[in-house]
Structure 1
Amino acid sequence: MKTSTLSALSAMFAGLTLAHPVEVAKRASGLSEVDITILQFALTLEHLENTFYLEAFNTFQLQDFIDAGFSEAFFENLQFISLDESTHVSVLEAAIESAGAAPVLPCQYNFPVTDVASFVTLSAILESIGTSAYLGAAPSIQSSSILSVAASIMADEGLHTALQRSSIGAIGSPDPFVTPLDPNSVFTLAAEFIVSCPSSNPPLPFTAFPGLAVSGQQCFNEVGIATSAIEAAVTATATSSASYAILTDAASNSTASNSTTSTSAAATTTAAAKLRVRQDNSTSTSDSSTTTTSTSTSTTTTDSSSTTTTDSSVSSATDVSDSSSSSSSSCTPPSAGSSIQLMPDVSSSKKDLKDVTELFVTFVEGLNIISVGVKIDGSSISSGMSVEIPAGVFGQVYIFITLVDLSGKSFSDSNVLFGPAIMEVAPALPSLGL
């Protein structure tokens, strides 16, 4: 399908979707404070994704994707994904307005995109975070009509995730379950890309965790958070603490029912198979210890209209090979049993860890929650923590440092000290009994 044909189809679908926000708005009258908070948070994320794609298409053209080794068909799929994100924004804005609230406006963003490869890689990560955000919020939604809309958007984001992951050489759906992610974790990850937001935006009742980064080889340009006070960028306050309490309570209740599944999944995981991907060395950057570590530092300045975070990011732009992309070198994500080094952002933590002798590295993926105990010297935790990746996690994995062992339990963000870091873990080849 040629680009001109695609543009005509996009215009047609844009016209067809105009009725959708109106229908959703009819269902949104009389929403609870919790539902409005969830919709505002969802809109915050959709604004981010929508801007991410619009900026990319203002920067890169079809030929840029072809030169990077991607197909025209993939480029066309990306345009439809961009249209989806724009429609999600319109639907959520209409629902919030019909409930009598002012929708949050787009923020200013800083995406670590240097070329087509880094754009595609980051898009796969963002789509997966979005899917996990909708799933994590679902148990807290009180309106059945809004739940249906949110579930529909979540399914769409899941389709985006599978397509994007496949395009960079990863398994599109490595786990039979999507990872539900709590609001504070999603907030922490999203705030990494936010420079400032309009002062008129209503505050969100979430707080960013102190950051955590993975040192060493990473294949998918995973986000490594190292940030102090990034929650200020989106004007987080305690004004809606009641709403957040309901959100977190609902999330805890829903996660508890998953503990049996988590234990079973961990027990049945076999030896990990190698997942081949490609990395473009010409755009990779390095520091004194490793060539593929992704880190960032933040400083904050405030004026009368907004709170601004200046973000300086170091990232490796990856071009991953499958039928629609190619490169000259390869990278294999770590698998179960591999050792990784975690670097917590101790400077942004308010916890006194001097007398702590053991912490837990908690891996969250799908319905798996697996903690690994690590003996530490609290006075030197800033030098990093080494841990082996446990069996039972694969694909896009979220890593936290927690105070307690959460294995097989419900995830509680009150136990989180640092995180989440994101990394790709090679999945095991399934045994189909053939």
Structure 2
Amino acid sequence: MKFFTFLTIIGTAIAAPLVATPRLHPTSLSRRAAASNSNPSFTDIWQLALHVEHLEIGLYFTAFARFSQQDFINAGFDAFYYQTLRDILHEHQFQATSIRRNQLYVEDSVVQACSYSFSFTDVKSFISLSATLEGFATSFYLSLIHSVVAAPDPDTSLEFALTIAGSTAAIDAKHVALQRLSLKQNVTDTNFFPQLGLNESYTFAKSFAKSCPKTGYQLPFTPLPTLIPNVTQVVPGQIVDFYSPLPIDNSLNGLFIFDFYDIASTILTTGDKPGHFHTRIPSDIVSPVSQMYFVVTKYDENDYLDESTVLAGPAVFQVLP
């Protein structure tokens, strides 16, 4: 019987005021998370999990190659915290090894690590990006739980697979709390983590990749057009400018996902240049939020929110109080 060993495992013009009204659709969000890719297999889903682990390992390796323990101390963090970050790297390496070993049993090849480019310039910006990626990974594994239910493997215990995915999401959530606490940010930031579909997760993870090997397992997911905001830290009510290669018109909506239960649609206003548009961060977010996602969608309040309606994104924001 196949099984998985234990895994401890983002326009230039300013518009008139825009309105973003929360519309609560917990059922729609659940169906959205389940309807990820076009019939992904159990193996596809876990190979994507390995792809996410490669990204996180790449982040920590890059940071430790750039910064010494003394650099962390000079930035206001102690040696214990530095060692804890090293331990987090080891956890992600163990997670990746666990997935890799089991996928070799299932498939002749596994997805290979890409080469990555990260924008952090100092210790604090690395920790901030780490919190963002660990938060993303938590959202991904919550989506993976739904996806595994939709595509179970006949030779694998569904209960065991769900336990592994849930345990992994919990571990990554603890990583998020550690990073935010170190930055003196709110660690009890949300009632429920938001979820991302598989294509959206793949799109976000691939946005950090400079190049990926043509050998090994090739993931069947298709990246969505990117959304590039002019800022990544926002406050409620702020107007944000975006660029996307996706043509934007008045038939499309923006959608903020900031809680498992809470989503808010918003008007998109095109800018003066092709691909540029802007919108407003919801001013009436109903729960304390630190991390929030934004996508461009065909969704309206009468539709189910599944990935067939998501056209671009996600962009990831840190929401400041």
TM interval, short-chain normalised: 0.7 to 0.9
Partner of 2:190: 175
Contact 1:358–1:376 (CA under 8 A) maintained in structure 2: no
Note the alpha carbon deviations across 1:204-228, whole angstroms, 9 max, x for none. 1212222223335x44xxxxxxxxx
State how far apart, in whole Å, the 2-side matches of 1:390 and 1:101 are.
50
Going from structure 1 to structure 2, the CA distance change for 1:87 and 1:410 (only over 3 Å counts) comes to farther
8 Å CA contact retained: 2:55, 2:113: yes
How far, CA to CA, are the matches of 2:119 and 2:252 in structure 1?
31
Residue 341 (structure 1) aligned with residue 240 (structure 2): yes
Alignment of 1:139-288 (within 5 A): 139-141=146-148, 142=152, 143-216=158-231, 218-219=232-233
Counterpart for residue 293 of structure 1 = none
* Contact kept in structure 2, 1:46 and 1:85, CA below 8 Å: yes
Task: Tell me whether 167-176 or 128-137 shows the greater mean CA deviation.
Answer: 167-176
1:25 to 1:83, Cα distance in 2 relative to 1, 3 A: closer
User: Compared with structure 1, are the counterparts of its residues 406 and 115 closer, same or farther at alpha carbon in structure 2 (3 Å cutoff)?
Assistant: farther
Indicate the residue corresponding to 2:79 in structure 1. 72
Gaps in structure 2 of 5+ consecutive residues: 7-38, 153-157
1:24 aligns with 2:7: no
| Aligned equivalents of 2:182, 2:217: Cα separation in 1 | 37
Aligned residues with identical type, % of pairs? 29
Among candidates 11, 36, 41, match of residue 43 of structure 2: 36
Contact 1:25–1:97 under 8 Å retained in 2: no
C-alpha separation between the residues in 2 aligned to 1:93 and 1:64? 33
Q: Specify the structure having the higher radius of gyration (Cα).
A: 1
Q: Is the 8 A contact 1:358 1:374 kept in 2?
A: no
SS of aligned partner of 1:384: strand
In the TM superposition, what is the alpha-carbon distance from 1:64 to its structure 2 partner?
0.4
1:401 alignment counterpart: 296
The answer to whether residue 286 in structure 2 is matched with residue 385 in structure 1 is no
How far did 1:51 drift? Answer: 2.2
State whether structure 2 residue 243 is matched by structure 1 residue 366.
no
Match of 2:13 in 1: none
Aligned-residue offset at 1:25:
5.8
1:98 maps to a residue whose letter is Y
Residue matched to 1:137: 144
Q: Label 1:67 to 1:138 Cα distance change in 2 as closer, same or farther (>3 A).
A: same
Q: How many residues align?
A: 278
Shift in alpha-carbon separation, 1:146–1:343, aligned structure 2, 3 A: same
Distance in structure 1 (CA, Å) of the matches to 2:102 and 2:61: 23
- Please tell me the residue identity of whatever aligns with 1:201: G
**Separation in 2 of the partners of 1:100 and 1:179?**
31
Q: 1:417 aligns with which of 295, 305, 311?
A: 311
| Cα 1:118/1:380, change in 2 over 3 Å | closer
Tell me the residue number matched to 1:301. none
- Output the TM-score relative to the length of structure 1: 0.59
Name the counterpart of 2:18.
none
Distance 1:169 1:213, change over 3 A: farther
Q: Which one has more relative contact order, counting CA pairs under 8 Å at least 6 apart?
A: 2
Q: How far apart are residue 147 of structure 1 and its match?
A: 2.3
**In structure 1, the residue corresponding to 2:112 is in which secondary structure?**
coil
Displacement after TM superposition at 1:122 (Å): 0.8
Task: Check the 8 A contact 2:45/2:144 in 1, yes or no.
Answer: yes
Instruction: Please state if 1:62 is matched with 2:42.
Output: no
Q: What TM-score results when the alignment is normalised by the length of structure 2?
A: 0.78
Query: How far, CA to CA, are the matches of 2:59 and 2:102 in structure 1?
Result: 23
Structure 1 residue 132 displacement after superposition? 0.7
SS of the residue 2:267 aligns to: strand
Task: Report the CA distance shift for 1:183/1:137 in structure 2 as closer, same or farther (over 3 A).
Answer: same
Which residue in 2 is equivalent to 1:430?
A: none
* Distance (whole Å) between structure 2 residues aligned to residue 390 and residue 182 of structure 1: 25
Contact 1:361 1:387 in 2 (8 A): no
Distance 1:147 1:386 in 2: 37
1:123 is displaced (CA, Å) by 0.6
Contact 1:370 1:406 survives alignment (8 Å): no
Is residue 114 of structure 2 the alignment partner of residue 107 of structure 1? yes
2:91 is paired with a residue of what secondary structure?
helix
**Are the counterparts in 2 of residues 25 and 98 from structure 1 also a CA contact under 8 Å?**
no
When residues 205 and 390 of structure 1 are mapped into structure 2, their CA distance, relative to the original with a 3 A threshold, is farther
State the Cα distance separating 1:388 from its structure 2 match: 4.1
Where structure 1 has 5 or more consecutive residues not aligned to the other structure, the ranges are 1-21, 27-31, 220-332, 428-434
